[in-house]
């Protein structure tokens, strides 16, 4: 089956939906998403979206906070673009129907999170992402030029490779003509041709055993671009959120938003002692990389599986008003946060690197854009400042739409693309091969490529990953495709890139901490996979 559209969007989070609403004014838009439309990392974002709204905050302060958090590996021009465009993008979200909490004066009730010098985080209680997703989906579903295909999974990007041409990494004229897409309900693989394709596929938290990301976050966009010979960079910078709820039976890990620490909650050891003063003057509101390493250190010192977050001294009415979801969740497992401390542990949370894009969200592959967590704009550097992710998504989806709406005027579909050839493939009846490999992969990454790394751990990880990759590619080449097999392949590709880039960085910087290179090396710049 073949289908044509002007704009093909892969992913239905804030980046994909924002782009769709703007692109739809210039042509037909198809959004494909591999689960239900609302199932995105956006929906799981609790804390909020950062933007400069009122004095005494300034763009300069937000820029400085972002660069400090990023350990000065940020692209400073990109930081400036993002922050100075933040106010307009917030106004746009409000116009689209997103409701952010306001105080008694009618002004936005701004929160403060780790690494921020001012109150600048807009929120909707502790369900900010869910509220934004609701508003955008409601508007998208009403637009006559946009259609959403749920339970559709992108297998591969279509390039000249599928016309029989040899495509090499670093080649300047690679073009994307759309994607091969698996319709999970019919098990048919569609050829979806597009003048412009946008990747908004989210991050890769599921390369680790414990993650706050939903199950769909399997590095799909990153892996597809890598296989299409695109440029990937800075994947060694995986952000572990310091505080996910310690509840080993639950996946994904339930996030305890940083906003709770901004409200006054305090991190304590298993013995109930404060400890952040030993690591940073900003205490529990230090940047996430510092807090996550501090918690990891304290857990290793005590031999415990978690530390605590103490809210007992805080105003009960305020807690219930601002954090109803967290209160209800903890209560469901027997923890009353007004009387009990919350057991917390770091979990893989955000992919700071990814598909390299420019200031207009263009990849090095022509006709292909990337936005949101799968993209590497240069905003985050070595560590993301809290609540900058949703902001980055709306700023760069806006810029991508501006650029794509102009470029599409000179583009047409490539009609010569062949349909997917599944001849000779057999149904793989041994699901255990996939599930067990996925478990092995996650254990390797968690043990060897986590918060603290070393040369020995990284080498061991690479050796193990190469074997798993070889086995999985063999299975892929002879099997009728399934979502599970394709996700495993993407996870392995992404895990290899994370580990390889971590091995190349001979320093400790931001989210990448190595026992062998405990200090930063000013001579080392960002690492990218483009050779």
List, by residue number, the catalytic residues.
288
**Which pLDDT does position 37 carry in this prediction?**
86
Low-confidence ranges of the chain (pLDDT < 50): 524-531
Q: How far apart are CA 278 and CA 307, in angstroms?
A: 15
**Which pLDDT does position 424 carry in this prediction?**
62
How many C-beta atoms surround the C-beta of residue 302 within 10 A?
A: 13
**Which pLDDT does position 528 carry in this prediction?**
44
Quote the distance between the C-alpha of residue 16 and its chain's center: 13
Q: What are residue 515's phi and psi, to 5 degrees?
A: -65, -25
User: Could you report the per-residue pLDDT of 332-348, keeping only the tens digit for each?
Assistant: 999 999 999 999 999 99
How many C-beta atoms surround the C-beta of residue 334 within 10 A?
A: 7
End-to-end CA distance of the chain: 35
Cβ 309 vs Cβ 243: under 8 Å: yes
DSSP 335-351: --TTTSPEEEEEEEEEE
For 307, the token pair is 């530390």
The torsion of the CA quartet 75, 81, 85, 89, rounded to 10 degrees, works out to: -50
Nearest alpha-carbon partner for 116 in 347, 323, 457, 388: 388
pTM for this predicted structure:
0.92
Q: How far apart are CA 19 and CA 36, in angstroms?
A: 18
Quote the distance between the C-alpha of residue 186 and its chain's center: 29
DSSP 354-390: EEE--TT-B-SSBTEEE-GGGEE-SSSTTSPPTT-HH
Longest dimension (CA), the chain: 68
3-class DSSP state of 33: strand
Nearest alpha-carbon partner for 257 in 170, 340, 355, 347: 347
Q: How far apart are CA 331 and CA 335, in angstroms?
A: 5
Q: How far apart are CA 330 and CA 388, in angstroms?
A: 26
Q: Between the CA of residue 220 and those of 31, 157, 282, 442, 495, what are the distances in Å?
A: 15, 11, 36, 16, 12
Domains of the chain plus CATH, in order, are 2-236+352-410 (3.50.50.60), 242-346 (3.90.700.10), 431-529 (1.20.58.100)
């Amino acid at each position: 089956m073949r289908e044509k559209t002007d704009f093909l969007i892969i992913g239905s989070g804030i980046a994909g939906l924002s782009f769709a609403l703007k692109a739809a004014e210039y042509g037909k838009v198809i959004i494909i998403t591999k689960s239900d439309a609302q199932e995105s990392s956006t929906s799981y974002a609790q804390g909020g979206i950062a933007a400069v709204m009122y004095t005494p905050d300034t763009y300069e302060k937000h820029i400085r906070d972002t660069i400090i958090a990023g350990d000065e590996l940020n692209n400073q021009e990109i930081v400036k673009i993002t922050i100075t465009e933040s106010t307009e993008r917030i106004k746009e979200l409000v116009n689209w129907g997103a409701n952010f909490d306001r105080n008694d004066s009618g002004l936005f009730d701004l929160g403060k999170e780790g690494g921020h010098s001012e109150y600048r985080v807009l929120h909707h209680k502790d369900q900010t992402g869910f509220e934004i997703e609701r508003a955008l989906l409601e508007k998208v579903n009403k637009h006559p030029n946009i259609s959403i295909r749920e339970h559709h999974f992108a297998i591969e990007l279509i390039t000249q490779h599928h016309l029989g041409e040899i495509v090499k990494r670093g080649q300047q004229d690679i073009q994307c003509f759309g994607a091969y897409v698996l319709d999970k309900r019919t098990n048919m693989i569609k050829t979806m041709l597009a003048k412009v394709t946008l990747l908004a596929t989210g991050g890769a938290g599921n390369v680790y055993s414990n993650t706050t990301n939903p199950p769909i976050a399997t590095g799909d966009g990153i892996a597809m671009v890598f296989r299409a010979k695109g440029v990937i960079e800075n994947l060694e910078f995986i952000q572990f959120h310091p505080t996910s709820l310690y509840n080993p039976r639950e996946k994904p890990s339930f996030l305890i938003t940083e906003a709770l620490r901004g409200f006054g909650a305090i991190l304590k050891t298993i013995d109930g002692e404060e400890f952040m003063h030993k690591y940073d003057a900003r205490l529990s509101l230090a940047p996430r990389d510092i807090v996550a390493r501090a918690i990891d250190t304290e857990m290793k010192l005590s031999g415990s599986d978690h530390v605590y977050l103490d809210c007992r001294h805080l105003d009960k009415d305020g807690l219930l008003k601002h954090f109803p979801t967290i209160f209800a969740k903890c209560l469901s497992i027997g923890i009353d946060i007004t009387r009990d401390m919350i057991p917390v542990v770091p979990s893989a949370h955000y992919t700071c690197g990814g598909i390299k894009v420019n200031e207009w969200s263009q990849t090095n592959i022509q006709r292909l854009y990337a936005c949101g967590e799968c993209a590497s704009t240069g905003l985050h550097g070595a560590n993301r400042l809290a609540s900058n992710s949703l902001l980055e998504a709306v700023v760069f989806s806006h810029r991508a739409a501006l650029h794509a709406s102009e470029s599409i005027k000179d583009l047409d579909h490539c009609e010569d693309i062949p349909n997917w050839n599944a001849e000779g493939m057999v149904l793989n009846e041994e699901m255990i091969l996939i599930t067990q490999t996925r478990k092995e992969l996650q254990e390797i990454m968690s043990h060897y490529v986590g918060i603290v790394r070393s040369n020995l751990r990284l080498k061991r990880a690479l050796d193990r990953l190469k074997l798993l990759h070889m086995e999985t590619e063999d299975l892929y080449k002879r099997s009728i495709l399934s979502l599970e097999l394709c996700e495993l392949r993407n996870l392995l590709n992404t895990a290899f890139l994370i580990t390889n880039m971590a091995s190349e960085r001979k320093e400790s910087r931001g989210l990448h901490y190595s026992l062998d290179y405990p200090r930063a090396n000013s001579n080392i710049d960002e690492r990218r996979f483009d050779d």
